[in-house]
């Protein structure tokens, strides 16, 4: 095989319940992932191990084998007992350090692409296991759709989801570091002497997904990392307020941020919302997308 390309989606977290800090430095989560139609593409060809990155906003993405996609290729090669002889090109659309799991998506795509390039045909379960060792969000990028992530977020169960949901994403200038946002969440909780309780799935959110009820889903969106993201990036409050003022059914910071997500009633409403938000200068750029979409897919 000469070249393999994989398309892989971004995610938004519909519910991100964060439990207490664990001894290993991670938090137990109730993480409802939803894959949306904003994609990176990863192409692999035989060659010396290298990573090239293309796209309009790729600041901070390493163009070296240290890139998460390069690490994924090395991990798979080690598992198979072969040399990681692969030249990787990433075409990025997913915002960098934006809380939409772009790096995790590229790692998942590289696993799937190299599995095909090296004709390994590993079982999906094995790819999922390898994905989980690369990062907490990587297995979901392979699976796609809508899914509940427990543990660090890597233990996945697909969730029933009817119809299509329409989203507007407000992309920010610059990113937020995921570990810094989790640390800020811990700091805020400690400062308020908050007893951190175990997070639970929201029955209202699960019912809204199963019924395809956008209004109910908008009301049920929740992110425990949002206060921390807002402390580290106070300007996001203006963005969220603008979305609400312009009639979004729900608005929240996506994961660790700083991307803000707005749920619309339908495609026309999403266009209206994007135009209105674009007119008040609360985002670097606005992107429309729908979900759920499949995970990493061979083209």
Ligand X SMILES: C[C@@](CO)(OP(=O)(O)O)[C@H](O)COP(=O)(O)OP(=O)(O)OC[C@H]1O[C@@H](n2ccc(N)nc2=O)[C@H](O)[C@@H]1O
**Active site amino acids:** 11, 137
Long-range contacts of 263-272 (CB under 8 A, 24+ apart): 263/165, 263/166, 263/167, 263/214, 263/217, 263/218, 263/221, 264/166, 264/167, 264/168, 264/214, 265/166, 265/214, 265/215, 266/166, 266/214, 267/166, 269/166, 270/166, 270/167, 270/168, 272/246, 272/247
Q: Is 67 in the site for ligand X (CB under 6 A)?
A: no
**Strand pairing of 4-21 and 297-298?**
antiparallel
Binding footprint of ligand X, residue count (CB under 6 A): 20
Q: Which residue number, 27 or 269, has a Cβ lying nearer to ligand X?
A: 27
**Per-residue binder mask for ligand X (CB under 6 A), 170-209, x = binder:** --------xx--x---------------------------
Measure the CA angle with vertex 287, ends 41 and 113; round to 5°: 10
Map the footprint of ligand ADP across residues 251-270, applying CB under 6 A.
Answer: 256
Q: Which residue number, 76 or 214, has a Cβ lying nearer to ligand ADP?
A: 76
Q: Which residue number, 62 or 212, has a Cβ lying nearer to ligand ADP?
A: 62
Residue 52 annotated as part of some ligand binding site: no
Residue 104 annotated as part of some ligand binding site: yes
Angle formed by the axes of helices 267-278 and 236-245, to 10°? Answer: 130
Map the footprint of ligand ADP across residues 162-201, applying CB under 6 A.
Answer: 175, 178
CB of residue 178 to ligand X, shortest distance in Å: 4
Q: Which does 68 bind (CB under 5 to 8 A by kind): ligand X, ligand ADP, none?
A: ligand ADP
């Amino acid at each position: 095989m000469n070249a393999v390309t994989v398309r892989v989606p971004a995610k938004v977290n519909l519910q991100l319940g964060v439990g207490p800090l664990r001894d290993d430095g991670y938090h137990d989560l109730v993480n409802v992932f939803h894959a949306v139609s904003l994609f990176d593409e990863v192409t692999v060809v035989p060659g010396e191990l290298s990573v090239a990155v293309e796209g309009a906003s790729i600041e901070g993405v390493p163009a070296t084998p240290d890139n998460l996609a390069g690490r994924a290729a090395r991990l798979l090669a080690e598992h198979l007992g072969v040399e990681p002889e692969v030249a990787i090109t990433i075409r990025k659309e997913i915002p960098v350090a934006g809380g939409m799991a772009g790096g995790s998506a590229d790692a998942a795509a590289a696993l799937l692409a190299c599995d095909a390039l090296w004709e390994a045909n590993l079982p999906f379960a094995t790819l999922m296991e390898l994905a989980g060792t690369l990062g907490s969000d990587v297995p979901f990028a392979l699976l796609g759709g809508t899914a509940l992530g427990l543990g660090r977020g890597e233990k996945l169960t697909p969730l029933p989801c009817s119809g299509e949901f329409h989203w507007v994403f407000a992309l920010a200038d610059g990113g937020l570091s995921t570990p810094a946002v989790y640390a800020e969440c811990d700091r805020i909780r400690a400062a308020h002497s908050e007893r951190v309780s175990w997070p639970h799935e929201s029955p209202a959110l699960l019912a809204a997904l199963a019924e395809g009820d956008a209004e109910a889903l908008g009301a049920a969106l929740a992110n425990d990392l949002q206060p921390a993201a807002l402390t580290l990036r106070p300007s996001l409050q203006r963005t969220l307020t603008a979305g609400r003022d312009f009639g979004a059914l729900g608005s929240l910071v996506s994961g660790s941020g700083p991307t803000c997500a707005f749920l619309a009633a339908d495609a026309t409403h999403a266009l209206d919302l994007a135009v209105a938000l674009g007119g008040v200068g609360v985002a670097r750029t606005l992107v429309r997308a729908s979900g759920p979409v499949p995970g990493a897919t061979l083209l």
